[in-house]
C-alpha cells in the first residue's frame, strides 16, 4: 500500500501555532516526522500558548515535537533558531516556510512604506533567511525539501494589498531559482499556493453570510478550503512520493484560478 512516510525526518513549520500552521504541523507529525513548531513571541503570550498546545496535541498522539520562538524577519534570530533545532533534533530535513502576514489594506500612494516593508520582511525575507540557514544542513546530508507557502495571490492581483501580492510573487520566483541552484544537491524546493482557506485569520469573511457568498462565487468548487486540505498537500510534497517534483507551484484553491465567472461564457 502506498502511503506518506516521513519517519526519521525533522520538519520545521514557521508560523506553526496558527490555523494553517497548526494543521500542517499535526499532519506532518501523523506521517512520522519530528516537528519543530515555530512561533513569534507576542506581548500577551498567546502565540507561545498556542504553540504549546500544538506540541502537546502531537505528543498526545505519540509524536515528537518542540516549540521555538523567533522573529524570522531577523537573520540573527533565524541563526539562533537553527542552532536550537540542531541541539534539539540534530538537524533539519524539511522546511515549511508558512509564516506570513497580509498587512493593512491601503492603495499605493495612501499607504505606509514601513508597513509595506514589514510585509516583505516577513513574507519574503523570512523564507529567504530560513532557507539560507537550512541549505548547508541539507547539503551535508545530501537531501532536503523546502516548501514555501505562497498564495493564489502570487498569480491574482489584490487591490489594496500590493505588498502581500508582491511578496508572494517574489517568493514563487525565489522557489524556482532556489530549486535550480540546489537540484543537483538532493534538495527540492516547491511552492504551495492556497486559495481561500477557512482559518481564524479570515473569520470576519466566512462568518458573515453575505461576504461568504461573494467569496464562494469566486471559487469553482463553491466553498472555502479546510486547513487539512492544504496540510495533506504539504505532506505529499514533503514525501518521497513527490521525489521528482521541484521548482514549481502546486495550487490548492478549489478552482479559483480557473475563473468560475467564465463557466457560462466570456
Residues in the chain: 266
Q: How many domains does the chain have?
A: 1
Q: 113-120 vs 162-182: helix axis angle to the nearest 10?
A: 30
Q: Which residues of the chain carry a pLDDT beneath 70?
A: 1, 266
Question: What pLDDT digit, counting tens, does each position of 138-194 carry?
Answer: 999 999 999 999 999 999 999 999 999 999 999 999 999 999 999 999 999 999 999
- In the residue annotation, 244 being an active-site residue is answered as no
Does residue 15 form part of some domain? yes
Exactly one of 129, 161, 164, 259 is catalytic; name it: 164
Q: What are phi and psi of 217, to 5 degrees?
A: -70, -15
Q: Helices (H), strands (E): how many in the chain?
A: 9, 7
Buried b (16+ CB within 10 A) or exposed e, 144-167: bbbbbbbbbbbbbeeebbbbbbbb
Which residues, 6 or more positions from 151, have their beta carbon under 8 angstroms from its beta carbon?
164, 168, 193, 194, 195
Grid coordinates of 8:
526519521
**Per-residue pLDDT, 202:** 81
Distance CA 161, CA 232 (A): 28
Does residue 257 form part of some domain? no
Distance CA 208, CA 211 (A): 6
Does residue 5 form part of some domain? no
Beta strands (DSSP E) in 61-180 are: 65-69, 94-97, 144-149
Which CATH number belongs to the domain containing residue 75 in this structure?
Answer: 3.40.50.720
Does residue 85 form part of some domain? yes
Does residue 259 form part of some domain? no
**Per-residue pLDDT, 266:** 64
Which residues, 6 or more positions from 45, have their beta carbon under 8 angstroms from its beta carbon?
none
Domain of residue 215, residue span: 10-251
**Per-residue pLDDT, 42:** 87
Does residue 106 form part of some domain? yes
Amino acid at each position: 500500500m502506498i502511503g506518506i512516510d516521513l519517519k526519521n525526518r525533522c520538519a520545521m513549520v514557521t508560523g506553526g501555532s496558527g490555523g494553517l500552521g497548526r494543521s500542517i504541523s499535526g499532519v506532518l507529525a501523523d506521517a512520522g516526522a519530528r516537528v519543530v513548531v515555530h512561533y513569534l513571541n507576542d506581548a500577551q503570550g498567546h502565540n507561545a500558548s498556542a504553540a504549546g498546545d500544538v506540541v502537546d496535541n502531537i505528543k498526545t498522539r505519540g509524536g515528537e515535537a518542540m516549540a521555538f520562538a523567533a522573529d524570522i524577519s531577523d537573520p540573527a534570530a533565524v541563526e539562533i533558531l537553527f542552532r536550537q533545532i540542531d541541539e534539539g533534533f540534530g538537524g533539519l530535513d524539511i522546511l515549511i516556510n508558512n509564516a506570513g502576514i497580509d498587512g493593512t489594506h491601503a492603495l499605493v500612494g495612501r499607504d505606509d512604506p514601513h508597513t509595506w516593508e514589514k510585509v516583505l520582511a516577513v513574507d519574503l525575507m523570512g523564507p529567504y533567511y530560513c532557507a539560507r540557514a537550512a541549505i548547508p544542513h541539507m547539503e551535508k546530508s545530501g537531501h532536503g525539501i523546502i516548501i514555501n507557502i505562497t498564495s493564489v495571490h502570487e498569480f491574482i492581483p489584490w487591490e489594496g494589498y500590493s505588498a502581500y501580492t508582491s511578496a508572494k510573487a517574489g517568493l514563487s520566483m525565489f522557489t524556482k531559482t532556489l530549486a535550480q541552484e540546489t537540484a543537483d544537491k538532493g534538495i527540492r524546493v516547491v511552492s504551495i499556493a492556497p486559495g481561500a482557506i477557512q482559518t481564524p485569520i479570515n473569520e470576519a469573511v466566512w462568518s458573515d453570510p453575505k461576504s461568504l457568498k461573494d467569496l464562494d462565487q469566486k471559487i469553482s468548487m463553491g466553498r472555502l478550503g479546510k486547513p487539512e486540505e492544504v496540510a495533506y498537500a504539504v505532506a505529499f510534497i514533503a514525501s518521497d512520493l513527490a521525489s521528482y517534483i521541484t521548482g514549481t507551484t502546486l495550487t490548492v484553491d478549489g478552482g479559483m484560478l480557473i475563473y468560475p465567472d467564465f463557466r457560462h461564457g466570456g
